[in-house]
Structure 1
Amino acid sequence: MHYTDPQTGLFHVGYLHNGAAGATTDDLVTYTDVNPDDPTFIRAGGKNDPVAVFDGSVIPSGINGTPTLLYTSVSYLPIHWTIPYTKGSETQSLAVTYNGGKYFTKLNQGPVIPGAPYGSVALNVTGFRDPYVFQNAELDRTYRSQNGTWYVAISGGVHDIGPNQFLYRQYSPEFRDWEYLGEWWSEPANSTWGLGTWAGRWGFNWEVGNVFTASEEGYDAEGDFFVTLGAEWGYAPVQPQTSQFREQLWASGNISTQRHGGVHFEPSMAGHLDWGMSAYAAAGKLVPASSQASLRSGAGDRFVIYLWLTNDHFGDLDFPVVQQGWGSSLTTPRELRRGHIADVVDNDLVSEVGSWRIVSSNAMAGTVGLSTLGQKMVREATHAYVSNATSSFSEVGRTVVSSPYGAGSTIAFSQSPDSRFYMMTASITFPALARGNKSDVKAGFKILSSEYESTLIYYQLSNESLIIDRSNSSAAAQSTNGIATDNEAGRLRLFDIKGPAETSSRVETLELTILVDNGVVEVYANDRFVISTWVWAWYATSNQIAFFHEGPDAVEFGEVKVHEGLVDAWPERSQ
């Protein structure tokens, strides 16, 4: 439920907690509760939402020019894609704020979208929730809408058919009526993008779908279409009320006009927004250049997104929420844009159906340009972690020639952090010979390490995977059930690159940013890959860092920089 208040320029971040709670930020780094005693700005219990309030999104200048929230009002539970859907259990309702987002007052009327669409036969939906409001110039032209019309994409699916997004258009100036435009995007149940290597499964039901357009500079009203979504799926037979698997995905493509006059979104590339098993429910919003954060940093219009990093298997487990007194976290916000990879050798690596598409070609050089989703930490966070560091140090890069298979080898840093709050940047270059030999060389870092426990983060060239090995991450896991120690992994292709001045090709360098925030570890790679996870290191001495290498081929580590301290995200809570 994020938005920029046009009156104050503050960015509002919303999250579900006994209803919906919220905070404001003027720098995307530090946050202030909208209400210090109770940050909840809307609760269930009204005539439209007697049971629950689910995700929604905000029109910044809505009814009477005030921020207007369109959210899912829930009248019946349980709701799950594995069980029959109760008609009318999810509707979409409006609420407005008159006090800068401290409270949202529900309109004294029924839902503005009273349930899933129906024609001659009502759709047997798996879900109908998480309305996402957006504006789009191409949809305005296609539907001959007034410029600046608002559209709503509602996430869900249809039993025995597959997941989809339902598209609506603003019908009245006061947003109280919405016109159904059709299922603008759907996929067959539990199907995959390509072979499923780069974008997992579309699943049976979609949640928290976001729609935006972007160019390489950031948010762009005339840019490429992008959609982010959470996909729910499982292996048959599926037990009722079991979460099974969830994946946080993205897709990009074009819209086309159908014979009946509607539009259809057709992906041309797709991937994981975050490969972490606990990363889900990404919610983003346009942060305009006029916002306080952007004015401070000099950023233009951009699309900023947050992810939910659950630590209790999406609410299926009691541990560790009961023990620690809180559950889950939001990850560091990210800027999304259209990414570009230049001077890529035109070989078999680029021809696969993946998380990229060819957008240019240089036949004489034998290279192509690729487009993908670009994502990285918001610039304000990166700057704050460097400029406010309590200590910063560097580790000289080195070339490691060979290491034994199985155990590998580690080279300890000459200095390691004193705490578990730091940002680390590094680069690793693999030789072209290793690709040709299909070598199983691995290289990366050992972090949160002591003689009792450690976590490995490494890239394995043979299967193009970036892996977080948590098998020895927590000594407490040996005596405490529920601490997750299974490995996390994601696919990242390092392409062959040949620049204009280069006589031979080379393997694309792996550029890493590793953020350690106590128990949360986020790994960013090459401005297009992220994997987030939890690491519950137990011993206070588990702060050491080391280079890690395994295999016969030489690997070159660049200089490593560590900035310790991070920033207190909630300074007023600490007073």
Structure 2
Amino acid sequence: MEFSRFRPTPHFIAPHSWMNDPCGAVYIPETREYILCYQWNPGTAEGGNCAWGMAKSKDLVTWEDCSPALRNGPTYDRLGVFSGSIVSRVIDGQRVLFLFYTSVSAVPIHWSKDYIEDCESQSVAFSKDFGVSWHRYEHNPLMRNPPRESRTTGWRDPFVSPWKGLSELLGVDPKTDYMMIASGVKGHGSELHLYQSNNLLDWKPVSTILSVKAGSRVSSKSNLRFGMNFECASFFSIGQRHYIIVGVEEDEGSKYHNGHYLMWLSGQLILEDGLPKFEITSHGLLDHGISYAAHIFRDSEGRLIQLGWADETTKQNIRNKQGWAGCLAHPRELFEISRPITEDGKDLDIWDVDEEKGTMTTLGVRPAPQLTNLQQNTKPTSSLESISTIRSKNYRVEATFKGLSGHERFIFRVRVSISEVTKIIVDLKAGQIIVDRSQSSFEKLGTDSPDSGFFTLLAREDLRINIFVDNSIIEVYANDRFALTSRIYPCLETSIGASYDFGGFDERNIELLCWEKLKSVWPLRNDGEGSLDMKCTEKKTVDETLKAKPIVMEAAIFA
């Protein structure tokens, strides 16, 4: 059936139709549940947004669908409820969730087009029943006008959180909340605007904390250049080091999927003419493939978790036939990695070098520890030969290579048949990890250009590779500091094999684990039935909810 042909199983995905950005993820202590929202356009597999879809989970892995948190309203958000974030607070002994979003009243909105007056504003909705129901603030929008007015290229995706380091710099209450909005200005480039509030309702400008020229290098030695506009920006701190994550929109000459890439910046908060600015000290790609629109939140143990949207790379007619498009990459943990300074590492963009302490530090990224729950129903195999016995579209492989010279080239082949193969290539000499899609699809249903990224081992460092294969989505991780997401569309039902070519590397120096048939993360769904015209109760409920009249919440309740 077309609906399930390329559909992932152990990944977060909408019940049907188009989905994109993750937004509004939060852990609720009282219910011991996570809720996660996402941009959704039910009724079509084509891009667009008219709702915040929502699901809940006890473990961040197994999910249950909920009614949408938001849908388009009648006035200031009649054409879109764009991405944002959820803030959880206890007010007068009661848990209150604040859902911040960009309300859209006019389209199109794109950096290449003239900016329409009042097209984007920032709004909020509330929940006092742990996300079961949401109510718009009666005085929405909270903010109506971008600071650059008609010169704006975008002003959206509010991320709200305290920022202790910034409050210390400004000498204000450490509980102060800050809202970061991604933006840009025509004729210049990308910007991040910062606002502050003491009650989450009244916001005042702080500064343009980062302003960069389009086409400029992120640093003098960087291979990355800033684009035309920022999207989906967020911030956090680890110790005394501060981080910003941004989605970068590039021009038509971009080599990245749909002209977008996902970047992290490490740096310092400084005062310039009395206003806070972000000074970049190191940077890198958060994903070297197609994952975009990063959203961050804290899990029940306080770990920093990042989600991202994995777009399709197949043709629109294929999306229309299957009745859905897009999913989320697996949740990832973000953390810091520090190492003694090495000659081969200190000149790389990703390392922030502290000569005084003799250390270099970078942002780490690895599969969230909750993902081990996907392996509950399967026992790992631990021999290299087990790769060749795989007959599945859904598995995980972990491999460690020791005693390396730094010139090796390792190849994992997945979704293999006589006519189709996808190669995951780790080329240590070239300093690259590549997903070769040139032979992934016999009928060329998807993009056949490679997804790739730079990866450099440090001296005497082992290579640790972690691979997830889930039908049409592949995720590759290396040494807790490299991630790459890719999409493939094998046509043949026989493309379920796997193999490897490690170039004669001594197999005694390889440790390997393989788990086949990871569990479905949607146990209450029947994904064997589903399309844009399906008649199941689930879709009927969603459609009725989308037609319901929106409710507003009076300001006095939160005064």
Q: Which TM-score tier does this pair reach, normalised by the shorter chain?
A: 0.7 to 0.9
Counterpart code for 2:441? S
Pick from 166, 189, 207: which aligns with 1:182? 207
> 1:558 aligned to 505, 510, 513, which one?
510
1:448 corresponds to which letter in structure 2? R
Quick check: 1:568 aligned with 2:520?
yes
Measure, in 1, the Cα distance between the counterparts of 2:206 and 2:317.
43
Match of 1:205 among 215, 224, 229: 229
- Measure how far apart 1:246 and its partner are: 0.4
Question: Do the aligned partners of residues 66 and 413 (structure 1) sit closer, same or farther apart at CA in structure 2, a change above 3 Å counting?
Answer: closer
Tell me the residue number matched to 1:247. Answer: 261
Which AA in structure 2 matches 1:483?
Answer: G
Residue 286, structure 1, aligned to residue 298, structure 2 = yes
Unaligned runs of 5+ in 2: 1-23, 41-49, 528-559
Quote the residue 1:139 is aligned against.
166
- Contact 1:150–1:170 (CA under 8 A) maintained in structure 2: yes
CA separation of 1:426/1:243 partners in 2, compared to 1, >3 Å: closer, same or farther? closer
Q: Please state if 1:324 is matched with 2:344.
A: no
CA distance in 1, matches of 2:455, 2:422: 20
2:270 is aligned with 1:256: yes
Q: How far apart are 1:414 and its partner, in Å? A: 6.7
Deviations 1:183-215 (A, max 9, x none): 0012111222236756x332110000011112x
Are the structure 2 counterparts of residues 152 and 483 from structure 1 closer, same or farther at C-alpha, using a change threshold of 3 Å? same
Paired AA for residue 285 in structure 1: F
Partner of 1:234: 251
State how far apart, in whole Å, the 2-side matches of 1:426 and 1:244 are.
Answer: 32
SS in 2 for 1:67: strand
2:77 to 49, 62, 78: 49
Does 2:55 correspond to 1:23?
yes
Letter in 1 for 2:293: A
Task: Give 1:7's aligned amino acid.
Answer: E
Identity over aligned pairs, percent: 27
Does 2:407 match 1:384? Answer: no
Confirm whether residue 519 of structure 1 aligns to residue 536 of structure 2.
no
Please show how residues 350-389 of structure 1 align to structure 2 within 5 Å: 350-359=345-354, 369-381=359-371, 383-389=372-378
In structure 2, distance between residues paired with 1:372 and 1:556: 31
1:86 counterpart (84, 105, 116): 116
2:313–2:447: 8 Å Cα contact kept in structure 1? no
**Structure 1 residue 271 and structure 2 residue 270: aligned?**
no
SS in 2 for 1:463: coil
Q: Determine which of 498, 501, 509 is the counterpart of 1:548.
A: 501
Distance in 2 (alpha carbons) for counterparts of 1:195 and 1:546: 41
Q: How many residues were matched structurally?
A: 492
How far off is 1:557 after superposition?
5.4
Number of the residue aligned with 2:557: none
Query: Kindly tell me: are residues 6 and 123 of structure 1, through their superposed partners in 2, closer, same or farther at Cα, counting changes over 3 Å?
Result: farther
2:59 pairs with 1:13: no
Cα 1:475–1:429 shift into 2, 3 Å:
farther
Structure 2 SS opposite 1:384: helix
Root mean square deviation, CA, Å: 2.5
Is the 8 Å Cα contact of residues 313 and 487 (structure 2) preserved in structure 1?
Answer: no
Distance 1:213 1:537 in 2: 41
**Distance across 2 between alignment mates of 1:243 and 1:387:** 34
Q: 1:444 to 1:429 in 2, by over 3 A?
A: farther
Compared CA separation, residues 353 and 510, structure 1 to 2 (3 A) = closer
SS of 2:382 mapped into structure 1: strand
Question: Counterpart amino acid of 2:206?
Answer: L
Is the Cα contact below 8 Å between 2:404 and 2:462 reproduced in 1? no
Larger RCO, structure (CA 8 Å, separation 6 or more): 2
Correspondences of 1:415-494 after superposition (within 5 Å): 415-429=388-402, 431-432=404-405, 441-477=408-444, 482-494=445-457
Deviation track 1:542-575 (CA, whole Å, cap 9, x = no partner) reads: 222222245x987975122111121211111149
CA contact (8 A) 2:391 2:498 kept: no
Q: Secondary structure at the match of 1:72?
A: strand
User: TM (normalized to structure 2)?
Assistant: 0.83
> Structure 1: which 5+ runs fail to align?
215-221, 292-299, 363-367, 397-411, 497-505
Measure the CA separation in 2 of the matches of 1:243 and 1:94.
Answer: 31
Q: CA deviation at 1:270?
A: 0.5
Distance in 1 separating the partners of 2:293 and 2:221: 20
The answer to whether the aligner puts 1:495 opposite 2:458 as a matched pair is yes
CA distance in 2, matches of 1:537, 1:92: 42
Q: Say if 1:271 and 1:319 are closer, same or farther in 2 by CA, change over 3 A.
A: farther
Q: For the Cα contact (< 8 Å) 2:375–2:519, is it kept in 1?
A: no
Tell me the CA shift for residue 457 of structure 1: 0.8
- Counterpart CA distance in 1 for 2:411 and 2:507 is 10
Post-superposition shift, 1:244?
4.8
